[in-house]
Amino acid sequence: NVTLRLILGDQLNPQHSWFAHVSPDVVYVMMEIRQETDYVLHHAQKMLAIFAAMRHFSQQLKRAGHRVRYIAIDDASNRQQLTANLEALIAHYQASTMQYQAPDEWRLDHLLAAWGASCPVPVTMVDSEHFYTTRHTVDAQFKGRKQWLMEHFYRSQRRQHRVLMTADDQPEGGQWNFDHDNRKALPATQTLPADMRPQHDHQALWQTIVASGAAHFGDPQAEALRWPLSREEALTQLEVFISQGLPLFGDYQDALSTRGWRLFHSLLSFALNVKMLNPREVVAAAEAAWRQGKVPLPAAEGFIRQILGWREYVRGVYWAQMPGYTEANALGHSRPLPEWFWTGKTRMACVASAITQSLQHAYAHHIQRLMVIGNFALLAGLDPQALHRWYLGIYIDAFEWVEAPNTLGMSQFADGGLLATKPYVSSAAYIDRMGDHCKGCHYSKSVKTGERACPFNALYWDFFARHETRLRGNHRLSMVYRNWDKMSPEAQQALRQQAEQSLAQIESL
């Protein structure tokens, strides 16, 4: 009377209630399949880290006494498709029931629900026991509204889960959000946290993945695969971050710098998204550090807002808007991604550095994703679906439920402003203010037209001119249009021509 329990590659949560008891009648099923390596072109490190973490997790379950059937990518019996493998296993074990944890991706949720409905044995879905909120919390809060403001959601979560709240139900420090304190550029004298990430050599596994034929790009193991691959490693990384990164996380959250590729960011997104870490313990650790006087309130609040606020919120937006959200293209953009998205070879120093490090580390921090790469893509009118696939493939932490709302909603305004109150775009001035890339750049940050003009400048104005019908009415953009209106028709024309030229030679920017 065997029950099969499926564990997906992003469900590596040893604290799930499934594992509280060992039973000879339960077989846990894990599989490395081409269906999952191939749904988008993936960065080598993303495939490698997920498979390596899965292998580690299966060993851990076995050591705890659980029965585990692990299908490796090169197993002869591997049908390389989720449901085909499940059907074979149900027959093999003569299983009487099959269970799975709620998938976070609509694609897998839909697939398993449809398959389960016609499966000869009962198939049930259980909670993944990871998030603070359900799939439908955000939808229920905002249904019928034109804009879904994260800040509203965040405050309700703070109250409900009593995070950074006083005894009389007020936000600690007398305000909900300390964002205005969190916008500093990195001074040249500021030292950066030491690199304490774990190291792994997974050459053999990498050779197996290559031999399986899975297509890939990016550096397979930049300085050895340095992502936490177990809960123990993830907990160590959390601890190191809380003591070394969090104190200055708030200050430099929005900074860009040639001196470091992660600055004071936590690098915890992979561990969180594959569920080795629970968001509650990460939030609790940050709050405790503040209560013990080890970090300033704006740092703790800023960090907690990303997890209790943004992370839960984008997940809720995803479930409310799927299917369909991944096709959104409100601005009608269709330009193909330039070839240098795959090489980093552009003369725009900020973009080159963000893309190059993404190829090397499968990582870019938020401001690089939003205000450098995403900013350029939106200004240049790149095809949001192609960009969505690029983000989904390249980042170590990219899973559609969190990647798609960030890329299509927050970064590309492709949902027409459901998630972002205005497009996140800027000219060179912002990039220069937040970082030090402009100094050594081929282009000149303060020049708007001519050969050496930073492409962001003319593209910025051209973007607002192109989308005037849709955007002029947005009161958050009234200043932008006032400045545009103040320019002479000749100046406007020169900017638009400059933008046209940049776009015509986008491959050689």
Measured from the CB of residue 81, what is the shortest distance to ligand FAD in angstroms? 24
Q: Which amino acid is at 505?
A: Q
Query: Binding ligand FAD by CB under 6 A: which of 130, 200, 333, 365?
Result: 365
Which residue lies nearer to ligand FAD by CB, 26 or 392? Answer: 392
Q: How far apart are CA 197 and CA 237, in angstroms?
A: 7
Q: Rule CB under 6 A: which of 371-390 touch ligand FAD?
A: 374
Task: Mark out the alpha helices in 362-427 (DSSP H runs).
Answer: 366-367, 375-380, 384-394, 400-404
Whether the CB-CB separation of 60 and 232 falls below 8 Å is answered with no
3-state helix, strand, coil in the chain (%, to 5): 50, 5, 40
Which residue lies nearer to ligand FAD by CB, 2 or 246? Answer: 246
Counting contacts by CB under 6 A, is residue 287 touching ligand FAD?
no
Counting contacts by CB under 6 A, is residue 369 touching ligand FAD?
yes
Counting contacts by CB under 6 A, is residue 13 touching ligand FAD?
no
Residues 80-119: x where in contact with ligand FAD by CB under 6 A, - otherwise, as a string: ----------------------------------------
Q: Is 174 left (phi over 0), alpha (psi -120 to 50) or beta?
A: left
Please report where in the chains the tokens 């070394």 appear, as a residue.
244
Which residue lies nearer to ligand FAD by CB, 310 or 461? Answer: 310
Considering only the stretches 82-90, 202-210, 366-374, 470-478, report the one whose residues sit in contact with ligand FAD under the rule CB under 6 A: 366-374
Counting contacts by CB under 6 A, is residue 310 touching ligand FAD?
yes
Rg, C-alpha atoms of the chain:
24
Measured from the CB of residue 272, what is the shortest distance to ligand FAD in angstroms? 5
Looking at residue 294, the DSSP 8-state letter turns out to be S
Burial 315-331 (b: 16+ CB within 10 A, else e): bbbbbbbbeebbebbbb
Query: Binding ligand FAD by CB under 6 A: which of 314, 349, 420, 477?
Result: 314
Counting contacts by CB under 6 A, is residue 411 touching ligand FAD?
yes
Considering only the stretches 18-26, 54-62, 136-144, 269-277, report the one whose residues sit in contact with ligand FAD under the rule CB under 6 A: 269-277
Query: Binding ligand FAD by CB under 6 A: which of 251, 287, 383, 397?
Result: 397
Question: What's the N-to-C CA distance of the chain in angstroms?
Answer: 63
The tokens for 303 are 């960090």
Counting contacts by CB under 6 A, is residue 265 touching ligand FAD?
yes
Query: Binding ligand FAD by CB under 6 A: which of 53, 267, 320, 454?
Result: 267
Other CB atoms within a 10 A radius of the CB of residue 408 amount to 28
Measured from the CB of residue 96, what is the shortest distance to ligand FAD in angstroms? 37
Beta bridge partners of 453: 444
Counting contacts by CB under 6 A, is residue 79 touching ligand FAD?
no
Measured in whole angstroms, how far is the alpha carbon of residue 324 from the centre of its chain?
A: 19
Task: Using alpha carbons only, give the angle 76, 65, 98 rounded to the nearest 5 degrees.
Answer: 60
Which residue lies nearer to ligand FAD by CB, 72 or 282? Answer: 282
Q: How far apart are CA 33 and CA 37, in angstroms?
A: 7
The tokens for 268 are 């915890």
Instruction: DSSP for 360-373, please give it.
Output: HHS---HHIIIIII
Counting contacts by CB under 6 A, is residue 325 touching ligand FAD?
no
Counting contacts by CB under 6 A, is residue 403 touching ligand FAD?
yes
Considering only the stretches 80-88, 265-273, 352-360, 460-468, report the one whose residues sit in contact with ligand FAD under the rule CB under 6 A: 265-273
Whether the CB-CB separation of 56 and 230 falls below 8 Å is answered with yes
Measured from the CB of residue 292, what is the shortest distance to ligand FAD in angstroms? 20
Q: To which H or E segment does residue 69 belong?
A: strand 67-71
Considering only the stretches 83-91, 209-217, 287-295, 404-412, report the one whose residues sit in contact with ligand FAD under the rule CB under 6 A: 404-412
Counting contacts by CB under 6 A, is residue 448 touching ligand FAD?
no
Which residue lies nearer to ligand FAD by CB, 231 or 265? Answer: 265
Please report where in the chains the tokens 């795959």 appear, as a residue.
342
Measured from the CB of residue 223, what is the shortest distance to ligand FAD in angstroms? 17
Q: How far apart are CA 302 and CA 309, in angstroms?
A: 10
Whether the CB-CB separation of 275 and 234 falls below 8 Å is answered with no
Counting contacts by CB under 6 A, is residue 406 touching ligand FAD?
yes
Which residue lies nearer to ligand FAD by CB, 186 or 314? Answer: 314
Query: Binding ligand FAD by CB under 6 A: which of 407, 427, 457, 498?
Result: 407
Q: To which H or E segment does residue 4 belong?
A: strand 3-6
Measured from the CB of residue 219, what is the shortest distance to ligand FAD in angstroms? 18
| Interacting residues toward ligand FAD by CB under 6 A | 265-269, 272-273, 306-307, 310-311, 314, 365-366, 369-370, 374, 391, 395, 397-398, 402-403, 406-407, 410-411
